[in-house]
């Protein structure tokens, strides 16, 4: 009911940046119109109010207008709230609340003017509780007398606002009868014109947006490489420590390690590749915004995008010091909220597509709390309204024995929602792939949300490293193939993400040289031409198998099995956990047994 609230806030913040109003925030004013029942009952309202004064999310004050109809569909206030007023949640932030009778439009206009003056002066939210009623119930087709006969008996006998206002104006000498009649006729005419225009627009809407839902450009390679000398210049700049900054000894050691990566002494890890992706974009004038819970340090203590002085807590942000003329870098720790924050960043991304905007969940399954935004906006806005976004979701994902609540980003839910090229879903297995995916997202002209199944274990896994040269050349590869000749293979294992490293380790240990492992890095949209070439090259193998860590009713299996069966023209074997109601076991010992079993089966199962 109120999911649009943070979206509006994000759009307002974007426009404040566009018109260079990021300090006073006077030129763009967000206005939210609420229903009384939803205002008190939908937690998203409270989340939105809570972030109104936070540095990364403030918009200089919002005007909230509550259309207080005394009833929510058929539910009266006594059944809907424990407080006297539906606007009482505004008190948590000390927000002024103006209660005004909807039958008194002169006073209502005065309240609007007062509210705008207050917002202008203090840059804070203000609420107008417009006490009124629904003459026709929930909508024109509703029959409110079924449940509220006494209330609607009184409403039926109650005069219209115009019948109350016009005599008052006439008696005061403000208008004449002729003027009043003219105003009423003009207003009715405007309403009829608006109705005709909306009906005409509805008829023409679908044909206009349908062609945008077929985007073959998504299959075209995008040059996301960066010259090595530029990578080294930016990378070394990001590992510099200001002389006056006293930083934690562990952070100093981390910076030394990253510098060694840039100098080519060791492979790049995940966080360094991400930092280079951000840095190279900033260097070429593309701004970057990252928000979410604890994103500055990173939930897994891997990012450290903000360095703190150990004595003063003075902050230093390396990505804000890439080059003299760089674009702006914003990184904001969010409140413990997924719903409102994701809505905010989605709204921001709609109106400022030139910026790379990322929202990171503390764990992938925390996206559950933002499911309304994902369903209502992220996955369907293009189909419904022709509105697209470049927003990136970083969702830590992987079965590692940490229990059901910290394992799964619910990959299957995103894949189930995939259709009409609405979103991109990737499960990268190398830092270089992640680097190219991030750069591709904003360099490419197409606007599509990007869902990244981010790693946890791989953040520090020694085998998950990329040489700097892989960032200096190439593109994002939707399918990562073996370097070996396909003709030597007798078994083909297809997988995605972290499980590749378990499979690779087992193959090396057991010397299964005739088994090839191919990684599907982009699950949607599937690159059909690459998949067709893969199927042709491996048409001779005895077994084609899909291996995943997730339970059989989760992960990519339900989505990808028919895709692979069609491409390879054969049945596809499955190796993975059995179907389960829970995303993962809570016992590490059981997890290890399951993981070892599914890996072994990948090399022995046949169709």
Assess whether pLDDT exceeds 60 at residue 213: no
Q: Report the pLDDT value the prediction gives residue 203, as an integer from 0 to 100.
A: 76
For 106-147, what is each residue's pLDDT tens digit?
A: 999 999 999 999 999 999 999 999 999 999 888 888 899 999
| pLDDT mean over 5-32 | 97
For 132-285, list the strands marked E by DSSP.
none
Residue 236 and residue 254: Cα distance in Å, rounded? 13
605's CB contacts (< 8 A; 6+ apart) are: 543, 545, 573, 574, 575
161's CB contacts (< 8 A; 6+ apart) are: 102, 103, 105
CATH node for 479-602:
3.40.50.11610
Out of 1.10.10.10, 3.60.70.12, 3.40.50.12470, 3.40.50.300, the CATH code matching 228-472 is 3.40.50.12470
Q: Among candidates 340, 336, 329, 225, which has minimal Cα distance to 287?
A: 329
Q: Are 433 and 468 in contact (CB under 8 A)?
A: no
For 434-481, what is each residue's pLDDT tens digit?
A: 999 999 999 998 999 999 999 999 999 999 999 999 999 989 999 999
- The β-bridge partners of 574 are 546
- Residues belonging to the chain: 607
Residue 552 and residue 319: Cα distance in Å, rounded? 41
Sign of the C-alpha dihedral computed for residues 294, 300, 303 and 304 taken in this order? positive
For 327-375, what is each residue's pLDDT tens digit?
A: 999 999 999 999 999 999 999 999 999 999 999 999 999 999 999 999 9
Residue 207 and residue 526: Cα distance in Å, rounded? 26
Share of the chain above pLDDT 90, in %: 90
Give the SS3 label for residue 99: strand
CATH node for 4-158:
3.40.50.970
Sign of the C-alpha dihedral computed for residues 541, 542, 544 and 550 taken in this order? negative
498's CB contacts (< 8 A; 6+ apart) are: 398, 429, 455, 457, 458, 549
Spacing of C-alpha 124 from chain mean position: 26
Which has more confidence, 77 or 97? 97
Residue 556 and residue 575: Cα distance in Å, rounded? 12
Q: Are 603 and 507 in contact (CB under 8 A)?
A: yes
Q: Among candidates 154, 375, 358, which has minimal Cα distance to 274?
A: 358
Q: How far is CA 188 from CA 122, 182, 599, in A?
A: 38, 10, 71
Q: Among candidates 56, 77, 42, which has minimal Cα distance to 10?
A: 56
| pLDDT mean over 154-169 | 92
Give the SS3 label for residue 570: coil
363's CB contacts (< 8 A; 6+ apart) are: 299, 396, 405, 406, 409
Give the SS3 label for residue 281: helix
Domain boundaries, the chain: 4-158, 228-472, 479-602
Paired sense of beta strands 329-333 and 126-131, if any: unpaired
Orientation angle between helical segments 249-262 and 228-238, nearest 10 degrees? 170
Q: What pLDDT band is residue 209 in, cutting at 50, 70 and 90?
A: very low
Q: Report the pLDDT value the prediction gives residue 393, as an integer from 0 to 100.
A: 98
DSSP 302: -
Q: Among candidates 490, 605, 593, which has minimal Cα distance to 546?
A: 605
202's CB contacts (< 8 A; 6+ apart) are: none
Structure tokens at 155: 């409403």
Q: Are 287 and 295 in contact (CB under 8 A)?
A: no
Same fold across 4-158 and 479-602? yes
Across 209-218, 283-292, 395-404, least confident range: 209-218
Q: Are 461 and 268 in contact (CB under 8 A)?
A: no
Structure tokens at 489: 């293979």
Q: Report the pLDDT value the prediction gives residue 556, as an integer from 0 to 100.
A: 98
CA angle 588, 591, 594 (to 5 degrees): 155
Share of the chain above pLDDT 70, in %: 98
For 479-509, what is each residue's pLDDT tens digit?
A: 999 999 999 999 999 999 999 999 999 999 9
- Long-range Cβ contact pairs of 18-26 (< 8 A, separation 24 or more): 18/351, 18/352, 24/60, 24/123, 25/58, 25/59, 25/60, 25/61, 25/123, 26/60, 26/120
């Amino acid at each position: 009911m109120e999911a649009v609230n943070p979206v509006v806030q994000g759009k307002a913040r974007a426009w404040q940046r566009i018109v260079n109003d990021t300090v006073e925030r006077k030129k763009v004013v967000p206005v939210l119109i609420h229903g009384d029942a939803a205002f008190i009952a939908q937690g998203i309202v409270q989340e939105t109010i809570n972030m109104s004064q936070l540095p990364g999310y403030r918009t200089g004050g919002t005007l909230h207008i509550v259309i207080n109809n005394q009833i929510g569909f058929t539910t009266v206030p006594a059944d809907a709230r424990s407080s006297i007023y539906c606007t009482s949640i505004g008190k948590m932030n000390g927000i002024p609340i103006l209660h005004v009778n909807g039958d008194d439009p002169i006073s209502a206009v005065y309240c609007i003017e007062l509210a705008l003056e207050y917002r202008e002066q203090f840059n804070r939210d203000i609420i107008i509780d417009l006490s009124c009623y629904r003459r026709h119930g929930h909508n024109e087709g509703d029959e409110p007398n079924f449940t509220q006969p006494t209330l609607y008996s009184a409403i039926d006998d109650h005069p219209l606002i115009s019948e109350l206002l016009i005599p008052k104006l006439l008696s005061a000498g403000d208008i004449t009868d002729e003027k009043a009649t003219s105003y009423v006729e003009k207003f009715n005419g405007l309403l009829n014109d608006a109705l005709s225009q909306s009906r005409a627009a509805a008829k023409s809407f679908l044909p206009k947006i349908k062609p945008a839902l077929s985007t073959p450009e998504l299959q075209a390679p995008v040059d996301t490489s960066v010259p090595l000398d530029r990578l080294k210049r930016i990378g070394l700049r990001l590992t510099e420590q200001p002389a006056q900054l006293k930083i934690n000894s562990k952070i100093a050691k981390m910076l030394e390690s990253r510098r060694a990566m840039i100098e080519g002494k060791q492979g790049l890890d995940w966080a360094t590749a991400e930092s280079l992706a951000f840095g190279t974009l900033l260097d070429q004038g593309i701004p970057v915004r990252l928000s979410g819970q604890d994103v500055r340090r990173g939930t897994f203590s891997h990012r450290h995008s903000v360095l703190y002085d150990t004595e003063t807590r003075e902050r230093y942000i390396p990505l804000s010091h890439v080059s003299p003329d760089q674009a702006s870098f914003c990184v904001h720790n969010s409140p413990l909220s997924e719903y409102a924050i994701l809505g905010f960043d989605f709204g921001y991304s709609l109106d400022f597509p030139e910026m790379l905007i990322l929202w990171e969940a503390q764990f992938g399954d925390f996206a559950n709390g933002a499911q309304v935004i994902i369903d209502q906006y992220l996955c369907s806005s293009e189909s419904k309204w022709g509105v697209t976004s470049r927003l990136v979701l970083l969702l830590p994902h992987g079965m590692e024995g940490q229990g059901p609540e910290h394992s799964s980003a619910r990959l299957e839910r995103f894949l189930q929602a995939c259709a009409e090229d609405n979103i991109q879903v990737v499960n990268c297995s190398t830092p270089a792939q992640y680097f190219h995916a991030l750069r591709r997202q904003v360099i490419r002209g197409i606007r599509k949300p990007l869902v990244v199944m981010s790693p946890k274990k791989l953040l520090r896994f020694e085998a998950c490293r990329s040489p700097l040269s892989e960032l200096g050349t190439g593109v994002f590869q939707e399918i990562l193939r073996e370097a070996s000749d396909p003709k030597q293979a007798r078994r083909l294992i297809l997988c995605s993400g972290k499980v590749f490293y378990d499979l690779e380790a087992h193959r090396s240990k057991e010397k299964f040289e005739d088994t090839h492992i191919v990684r599907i890095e982009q699950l949607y949209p599937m690159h059909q031409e690459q998949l067709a070439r893969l199927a042709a090259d491996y048409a001779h193998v005895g077994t084609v198998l899909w291996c995943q860590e997730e339970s059989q009713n989760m992960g990519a299996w339900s989505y990808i099995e028919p895709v692979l069966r069609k491409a390879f023209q054969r049945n596809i074997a499955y190796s993975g956990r059995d179907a389960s109601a829970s995303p993962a076991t809570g016992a590490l010992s059981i997890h290890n047994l399951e993981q070892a079993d599914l890996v072994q089966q990948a090399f022995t199962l046949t169709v």
